[in-house]
């Protein structure tokens, strides 16, 4: 028979993060609002630029989608009104960040990587990104990490630069390194 603490540990893996009313509203409404905004932007960009014959079907789909999204939003508002939340927003955010710590850090690293590629260059930026992501995920051996980084970037260099003759974006740092090497 399982002890109470073992049972709690097994349930902890399957429990979801408690949400406050504000976070619950944000997570429920973000996708419908984004879809409505993208649909309206499509209509704004195409109205008057394409013939009506080409736009009837997409506009019909957009109209039906917006109508269904409005119904979903009304249903979610009713559900939010009837739900009792036991956690305040600060606690819910702290629990969420604690549970999703590594994916959040990885997403931040990915944004920084994309922003820094024009400055650092593809190869230097990729090396920094891979080192940072391996640090965040606590890769045990630095030698293995260095081997994976060197092997991956070397394979990309051979495949794309040497064989296919595609030059990835070069930033100031990549140009400096290539000037020293070649």
d(C-alpha 110, C-alpha 129), whole Å: 7
Query: pLDDT, tens digit, for every residue of 4-19?
Result: 444 444 444 444 556 6
Average pLDDT over residues 123-143: 89
Q: Is the model's pLDDT at 135 over the cut of 50?
A: yes
The chain-wide mean pLDDT, for the chain, equals 80
Query: pLDDT, tens digit, for every residue of 52-93?
Result: 777 777 888 888 888 888 888 888 888 777 776 676 777 777
Confidence of residue 20 (pLDDT cuts 50, 70, 90): low
d(C-alpha 4, C-alpha 1), whole Å: 9
* pLDDT number for residue 18: 64
Tokens of 36: 């409505």
Q: What letter does residue 140 receive in the DSSP assignment?
A: S
In the chain, the percentage of residues whose pLDDT exceeds 70 is 85
Tokens of 66: 């917006």
Tell me which of 87-96, 115-124, 164-173 is least confident: 87-96
Report domain extents, the chain.
4-97, 101-181
d(C-alpha 87, C-alpha 83), whole Å: 12
The beta strands (E) that lie in the chain are given as none
Considering Cα of 104, then 105, then 111, then 113, what sign does the dihedral take? negative
Per-range mean pLDDT, top range of 19-28, 68-77, 146-155 = 146-155
152, 130 contact by CB (below 8 A):
yes
d(C-alpha 62, C-alpha 1), whole Å: 56
- Scan for tokens 């051979």, then name that residue: 158
What is this structure's pTM? 0.53
Measured between alpha carbons, how far is residue 122 from residues 117, 135, 157, 180 in Å?
5, 20, 10, 17
* pLDDT number for residue 130: 92
Query: pLDDT, tens digit, for every residue of 92-106?
Result: 778 777 877 888 888
- Scan for tokens 């399957």, then name that residue: 14
* pLDDT number for residue 39: 83
Q: Is the model's pLDDT at 137 over the cut of 50?
A: yes
Considering Cα of 129, then 134, then 137, then 138, what sign does the dihedral take? negative
């Amino acid at each position: 028979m399982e002890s109470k603490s073992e049972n709690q540990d097994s349930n902890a893996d399957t429990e979801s993060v408690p949400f406050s009313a504000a976070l619950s509203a944000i997570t429920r409404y973000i996708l419908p609002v984004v879809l409505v905004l993208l649909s309206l932007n499509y209509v704004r960009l195409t109205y008057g630029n394409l013939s009506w014959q080409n736009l009837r079907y997409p506009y019909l789909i957009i109209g039906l989608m917006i109508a269904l999204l409005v119904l979903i939003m009304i249903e979610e508002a009713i559900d939010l009104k009837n739900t009792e939340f036991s956690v305040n927003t600060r606690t819910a955010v702290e629990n969420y960040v604690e549970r999703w710590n590594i994916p959040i850090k990885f997403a931040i690293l990915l944004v920084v990587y994309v922003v820094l590629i024009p400055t650092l260059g593809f190869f230097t930026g990729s090396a920094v990104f891979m080192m940072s992501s391996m640090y965040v995920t606590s890769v045990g051996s630095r030698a293995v990490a260095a081997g994976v980084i060197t092997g991956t970037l070397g394979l990309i260099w051979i495949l794309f630069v040497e064989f296919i003759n595609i030059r990835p974006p070069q930033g100031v740092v990549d140009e400096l390194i290539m000037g020293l090497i070649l």
